[in-house]
Amino acid sequence: MGYLFSSESVSEGHPDKVADQISDAVLDNFLAQDKNSKVACETLVTTGQVVLAGEVKSTAYVNVQEVARKVINRIGYTKSEYKFDGDSCGIFSALHEQSSDINQGVERANPMDQGAGDQGMMFGYASKETKNLMPIALDLSHALVEELAAIRREGKYMTYLRPDSKSQVTIEYDDNNQPVKVHTVVVSTQHDDFIQPTATKTQEQADDEMLKTIREDVKNILIPRVKALDSQFAQLFKDDIILHVNPTGKFVIGGPHGDTGLTGRKIIVDTYGGKGAHGGGAFSGKDPSKVDRSAAYAARHIAKNIVAAGLANEVLVQVAYAIGVAKPMNLYINTYGTAQVKLTDGEIATKIEKLFDMRPKAIEERLKLRFPIYEETASYGHVGRTPVTVTKNFKDGNGKDFSQTVELFTWEKTDKVADIKAEFGL
C-alpha cells in the first residue's frame, strides 16, 4: 500500500518571510561594502512596525531603514489599507556590535583555521524525485505561491490579490516510493474585500461569492499556470484532486497586520519541506561564518552532487561543528539503501570527506559566500534553486549608488560530479 506525504510553502508576503527578506537585505548591504562583515540580524514585523535587532561587526555604514522600506515595497506592501506599508511603517533598529567573546572564537591568523561561528548540526538532502533533485511536494508548494505572486504583479487576472499567501501539497506515493499523483492542494491567499453587501445581499452572501470567485480562479488560472511550468507537475495533476481554497473563508486581514512575523520561523519551507532533516538553525540574517547557514548549503551541495553523479538515488548528509573549531565533528551520509556501489554508507562518507573541505572558510571560498547573494534566498526556498549570475544595486555609506555582479545559489551546481565519479569508479 502506498502513502501520502505533504509539504507547505509561503509567499514572499507572508509575515515571517517579510522578516527573512529584510534580515537578508541588511546582510547583503553590509557584505556589498565590506565582504568580511559579521552579521546576525533578526527582524520582527507587526502592524505598522519593523524592529531590527542583532549583532554586526563591519567597516560599512548601512541605512537599515532605507533597506527595510525598499524590501517591503518590493514585496507589495504599498497601501495604507494593509496597515503595514513600506513608506509609512515605523522602523526601530537595535543592531549593535558583535560580542568580542564570539569574535575571538571565530577569527584566526590563518583564515583557513577560522572556527565555526556556533555549534550545531546541519543537513543536506537530495533525491531523484525531480529534475532539481528536490522533493516534489515542496517544489509544487513553492510553485503555487510564487506563481500566485507573479499573477498579482502582472495585474491582469485575480486583481484582488494581496501579498500574503500559503500553500500545501499532499502527494500520493506508490509502494516503491515513487510519486503517483497530487492528492490534495491547499491555497490560502489574502485578498481585497472586493464584493460588498447590498440591500439584497447579506455580508455572508457577499463573502461566499468572493470565496467562490477565488476558488474558481485558483482552479482555472493558477493551477493551469503551475502545470505549464513543468511536465512532471502536469502529469501529477489528475481529475480527482482535492482542492481547498481559503478554507477558513474571508482572508482580507493578513500580512504583518494579521500575524506578527519573525526571522527564521519558516526553516522547513526554506529547506526540504519535511523530507530529509533539518538541524534546527535558521538561515536568514546570518553571514557565512555562521555554519547554521554555510554548512547547510555545503551539505546540500554534497547531497546534490552525490545524486547527480549516480552514486545514490536519495541521500541525507549531516555535518556538525563546535563553536570556534574549524574541523567538523562528523560527516554522516545515509543513502536510504539506494547506493549504487558496494560500499557501506560509512565507507561512502569517508571517501566523500576527501572531496569536500568542510572547514568554514573553505566552504565560504568554494561556494563564494562572502558576497551579497542572500536576499534572493529568503523566499521560495534556499535550496532547489537555479544558479544564476546577476547584477545588484546598492548605496555606500555616503548614499552613492554602486553595483556588484554576483553568482546566486552556487551550492546548487553539480560541479563535483566528475570528482565523485572518479573516486567511486562510476
User: Any binding-site annotation on 290?
Assistant: yes
Q: What is the mean pLDDT of residues 158-166?
A: 97
User: Any binding-site annotation on 123?
Assistant: no
- Each residue's pLDDT tens digit, 38-50: 999 999 999 999 9
Sign of CA dihedral 211, 213, 217, 219: positive
Same-domain pairing of 311 and 365: yes
Q: What CATH number is attached to the domain comprising 399?
A: 3.30.300.10
User: Any binding-site annotation on 265?
Assistant: yes
- Amino acid type, 190: Q
Residue 12 is placed in which grid cell? 514572499
Same-domain pairing of 247 and 296: no
Q: For residue 107, what pLDDT is reported?
A: 63
Q: Give the separation between CA 268 and CA 168, rounded to whole angstroms.
A: 13
Q: Is residue 337 in a domain?
A: yes
Q: Is residue 100 in a domain?
A: no
Q: For residue 101, what pLDDT is reported?
A: 52
Q: Is residue 324 in a domain?
A: yes
- Residue 115: DSSP 8-state: P
Range of the domain at 390: 120-127+291-424
Helix (H, G, I), strand (E, B) or coil at 60: coil
User: Any binding-site annotation on 201?
Assistant: no
pLDDT band at 130 (very low <50, low <70, confident <90, very high): very high
Q: For residue 97, what pLDDT is reported?
A: 83
- The residue length of the chain stands at 426
Q: Which of 218-227, 293-302, 394-403 has the lowest mean pLDDT?
A: 394-403
- Each residue's pLDDT tens digit, 207-238: 999 999 999 999 999 999 999 999 999 999 99
216: which residues sit within 8 A by CB, 6+ positions away?
Answer: none
Q: Is a pLDDT exceeding 70 seen at residue 109?
A: no
Q: For residue 104, what pLDDT is reported?
A: 55
- Each residue's pLDDT tens digit, 315-344: 999 999 999 899 999 999 999 999 999 999
User: Any binding-site annotation on 38?
Assistant: no
From 234, 254, 274, give the residue that closes a domain: 254
Same-domain pairing of 303 and 184: no
Q: For residue 117, what pLDDT is reported?
A: 79
User: Any binding-site annotation on 42?
Assistant: yes
Q: Is residue 49 in a domain?
A: no
Same-domain pairing of 295 and 419: yes
User: Any binding-site annotation on 266?
Assistant: yes
Q: Work out the mean pLDDT of the chain and round it to a whole number.
A: 94
- Tally of domains within the chain: 2
Q: What is the mean pLDDT of residues 168-186?
A: 96
Q: For residue 105, what pLDDT is reported?
A: 55
Same-domain pairing of 309 and 416: yes
- Each residue's pLDDT tens digit, 241-256: 999 999 998 999 999 9
Q: Is residue 353 in a domain?
A: yes
Q: For residue 33, what pLDDT is reported?
A: 96
Q: Is residue 392 in a domain?
A: yes
Q: Give the separation between CA 98 and CA 291, rounded to whole angstroms.
A: 16
Spatial contact of 30 and 60, defined as CB atoms under 8 Å apart: yes
Same-domain pairing of 245 and 353: no
From 227, 254, 281, give the residue that closes a domain: 254
pLDDT band at 131 (very low <50, low <70, confident <90, very high): very high
Q: Is a pLDDT exceeding 60 seen at residue 10?
A: yes
From 202, 226, 254, give the residue that closes a domain: 254
Same-domain pairing of 244 and 323: no
User: Any binding-site annotation on 165?
Assistant: yes
Same-domain pairing of 181 and 229: yes
User: Any binding-site annotation on 58?
Assistant: no
Same-domain pairing of 250 and 300: no
User: Any binding-site annotation on 49?
Assistant: no
How much is the pTM?
A: 0.95
User: Any binding-site annotation on 192?
Assistant: no
CA distance between the termini of the chain = 34
Q: Is a pLDDT exceeding 70 seen at residue 64?
A: yes
User: Any binding-site annotation on 20?
Assistant: no
Q: For residue 17, what pLDDT is reported?
A: 98
Q: Is residue 384 in a domain?
A: yes
Q: Give the separation between CA 19 and CA 13, rounded to whole angstroms.
A: 10
Same-domain pairing of 160 and 239: yes
Q: Is residue 103 in a domain?
A: no
Q: What is the mean pLDDT of residues 165-180?
A: 95
Same-domain pairing of 236 and 318: no
Same-domain pairing of 234 and 326: no
pLDDT band at 111 (very low <50, low <70, confident <90, very high): confident
Spatial contact of 34 and 58, defined as CB atoms under 8 Å apart: yes
User: Any binding-site annotation on 181?
Assistant: no
Q: For residue 103, what pLDDT is reported?
A: 55
User: Any binding-site annotation on 309?
Assistant: no
Q: Is a pLDDT exceeding 80 seen at residue 102?
A: no
